[in-house]
Amino acid sequence: MAITLVAIAALAAFGAQAQSSVSLTGNIDLGYAVTTEKGSSTAVNTNEVAADATTRKQSRPLGNGAEGWTSSQVVMTINEDIGGGVKAGYVLDMNLSSWGAGADSANQGLGTQRQSFLSLSDAKLGEVRAGYQYTLQDQIQGGVGRATPTGNVGGRIQNFSFNTDPNRAALASGKVNREGYEVISAGNVTRANAFQYASPVFSGFQGMVQYATVADDKTSTTANAGGKADGKLTAVAAKYSQGPLNLGLAYQELVSDAATYGTAATKDLKVTTKDTTFAANYDFQVAKVFLNTFTRKSDVAAGTGMNGTIDTSAWGLFKNNGSLKRTGTDLGVSAPFGKTTVFAAYGSGKYTIDTDNTGSGDAKIKGRLLGATYDFSKRTSLNAYYAFTKATYEGQVNEASKKNVGFGLRHQF
């Protein structure tokens, strides 16, 4: 009997030391939107189309992956208290599709992983993460400075993207060439297989560091036909939160170093991207204001093996010593009126490309967004929005813009 009681006590003590929990949370946002893109060449199926046919208009239901007012997703979180103030955990964050044919594969409800990482934390020492996760830049931008809760409906300079052919004039035949279309985008890096450390919070301050690396070695039976690509991401960030004020600052550097096939011993193409993001928000009770500003610059250094083969189009890649710089600022406000919350945001940015011997080009980006939500409860709400983003540049022939008008129903669990 005594032995049994001792065994029960031991098991109880072990259970108290190692308690675990599993939770499922998420967000389902389904709606309908009309998206109008001008200057886009992605809607045509022939090599050349009439210049006035570069407008693409889509009317469609939303809710797959990151589309819609917010992102539909499901998150599984596992936590274990292993004693002594130490906790272990795992997070699996996935896109959630509700229309049968998802953004990833037809008829799959769960899509691409957003995050999948293990963690080990101590209240006095901080937290360590390992796995697929948001970069520090994206954590600061999304966690501190996002002016509206929108997903990919547009209106934010921090995440603008145009599928356009902006620098190509109409041909003598009155047509534009489809084959040369490109993407003008903010160029942010959103995820990485990385190690991350976050310090404990001291008087509202917290520091973070992140590191990721990838090496892709390729070999062949053909003599000297190998290739190699290395990528490294290093980042630091700091956050401050005290009362109604929240601040965040992140810096990251991504270096890609590659060799072409047949010259495995020589690195022929190196691209270095440096990114600085500052974000802030302040809660006045009657309204909450947001600020988000970023600078991203990519520099290319190419060896003799790559010169002459890099695309030198005005808005895409560029030759040795070329650079591409993106800057932007978003300002936003949200104001609650009972069960209704109104959102507004305005942003402006610049997209600057400079090549070694083929000239330069600049594009100015402007965006604005208006939206509102009506809360049926703490978890269920209606939403409606209007977003418009536009690019202008010297010698512009066709307008490059994207307009989104939509509405939807959102449920959180």
Distance CA 243, CA 335 (A): 18
Q: Cβ distance 150 to 113 under 8 Å?
A: no
Cα 22 from Cα 47, distance rounded (Å):
53
Q: pLDDT band at 149, cuts 50/70/90?
A: low
DSSP 271: E
> Range with the lowest mean pLDDT among 57-61, 66-70, 282-286, 409-413?
66-70
Average pLDDT of 379-405? 83
Give the pLDDT score at 5: 43
SS (H, E, C) 346-377: EEEEEEEEECCCCCEEEEEEEEEEEEEEEECC
Please compute the mean of the pLDDT values over residues 269-294 and round it to a whole number: 90
Can you give the length of the chain in residues? 413
Whether residue 396 contacts residue 166, with contact meaning beta carbons closer than 8 Å, is answered with yes
Q: CA geometry: angle at 150 spanning 144 and 155, to 5°?
A: 95
List Cα–Cα distances, 16 to 2, 47, 295, 379, in angstroms: 21, 68, 49, 33
What distance in Å separates the CA atoms of residue 297 and residue 277, rounded to the nearest whole number?
12
pTM exceeds 0.75, yes or no: yes
**Per-residue pLDDT at 35:** 82
- Average pLDDT for residues 9-14, to the nearest whole number? 47
pLDDT band at 14 (very low <50, low <70, confident <90, very high): very low
Q: Which domains does the chain have, with CATH numbers?
A: 32-58+151-412 (2.40.160.10)
Which structure tokens are listed for 11?
Answer: 């098991």
What pLDDT is recorded for position 59? 74
The distance of Cα 176 from the centroid of its chain, to the nearest Å, equals 31
What single DSSP character describes residue 166? T
The mean of the pLDDT values for the chain is 75
Q: What is the pLDDT of residues 172-190, one digit of tens each?
A: 333 333 444 456 777 777 7
Q: Are 348 and 362 in contact (CB under 8 A)?
A: no
pLDDT at 335 over 90: yes
Contact 165, 42 (CB under 8 A): no
∠ CA 221-224-228, nearest 5°, is 95
Its sign, for the CA torsion 183, 252, 234, 352, is positive
| Residue whose C-alpha is closest to residue 164's, from 147, 145, 144, 184 | 184
Q: What is the mean pLDDT of residues 147-159?
A: 64
* pLDDT average, residue stretch 1-14: 46
Query: Looking at the predicted structure, is the pLDDT value of residue 36 above 80?
Result: yes
User: What integer pLDDT is reported at residue 40 of this predicted model?
Assistant: 52
Average pLDDT for 359-387: 87
Could you give the count of Cα atoms lying within 13 Å of 284 in the half-sphere of its Cβ? Answer: 9
pLDDT bracket for residue 402 (50, 70, 90) = confident
- Phi, psi dihedral angles at 10 (to 5 degrees): -65, -40
CA–CA gap between residue 220 and residue 264 (Å, rounded) = 11
Report, as an integer, the average pLDDT of 19-33.
88
Quote the longest CA-to-CA distance of the chain: 99
Which tens digit of pLDDT belongs to each residue from 48-107?
444 444 677 777 777 655 556 777 889 999 999 998 889 999 999 988 776 655 444 555
Percent of the chain whose pLDDT exceeds 90:
34
